[in-house]
Amino acid sequence: MPITESDIEKIAQLAHLEITEEEKRAFTPQIADIVAYVEQLNEIDTSDVEPATGGLTAEGEATDSARDDMARPSLGQQTALDQAPDAASGHFRVPKVL
């Protein structure tokens, strides 16, 4: 089913992207082309194939990567807020939610 401008609009909403009309017009055929291209995967019979989840090798899977759940020194509030576009009273300040 070909992708329409309306689909692009919905997807952009989901992704919190406010795209312009011009972008919508440009992206629609491009994304439609790419989706049409990836549909070639339907040629392949994957009925008995396990989906690969993640990129770990066998040795990666075998590596115990858990640590004890203990509090450790972290960035600290000042450092954590240092890159904020707008910080106030130890918080990240943002426009109103509602």
Partner 1 sequence: MDFFDTDIESLRSHLAAGEATARALTQGALDAAESLNETLNAFLQLDRAGALRRADEIDAAASADEGGQTLRGVPLAIKDNICTRGLQTSCGSRILAPYHPPYNATAIERLKAAGAVIIGKTNCDEFAMGSSNENSAFGPVRNPWDTSRVPGGSSGGSAAAVAAGIVPAALGSETGGSVRQPAALCGIYGLKPTYGRISRYGLVAFASSLDQIGIFGRTPRDIASVLSVIAGRDENDATTANVPVPDYPGEIASDINGTRIGVPRELFGAGLDEEVRASVERAIEAYRELGAEIVDIELPHAKYCIAVYYIIATAEASSNLARYDGARYGFRAEDTPTLREMYRKTRDEGFGAEVKRRIMLGTYVLSSGYYEAYYRKAQQVRTLIKQDFQKAFEKCDAIATPTTPTTAFLLGEKTDDPLAMYLNDIYTCTANLAGIPGISLPCGLSQEGLPIGLQFVGPHWSESSLLKLAHAYTEAHPFTARPKVRASQKS
71/94 Cα distance (integer angstroms): 28
Q: In the set 4, 6, 17, 25, which binds partner 1 (CB under 8 A)? A: 17
Q: In the set 44, 70, 71, 88, which binds partner 1 (CB under 8 A)? A: 44
- Residue 60 CB burial class (10 angstroms; 0-12, 13-18, ≥19): exposed
In DSSP terms, 88 is beta-bridged to: 91
Give min distance, CB of 70 to partner 1, in A.
13
- Contact between 55 and partner 1 per CB under 8 A: yes
Residues 6+ apart with CB under 8 A from 27: 8, 19
Residues that bind partner 1 (CB under 8 A): 3, 7-8, 11-12, 14-20, 23, 26-27, 30-31, 33-35, 37-42, 44, 46, 49-60, 62-65, 67, 75, 79-80, 82-86, 92, 94-98
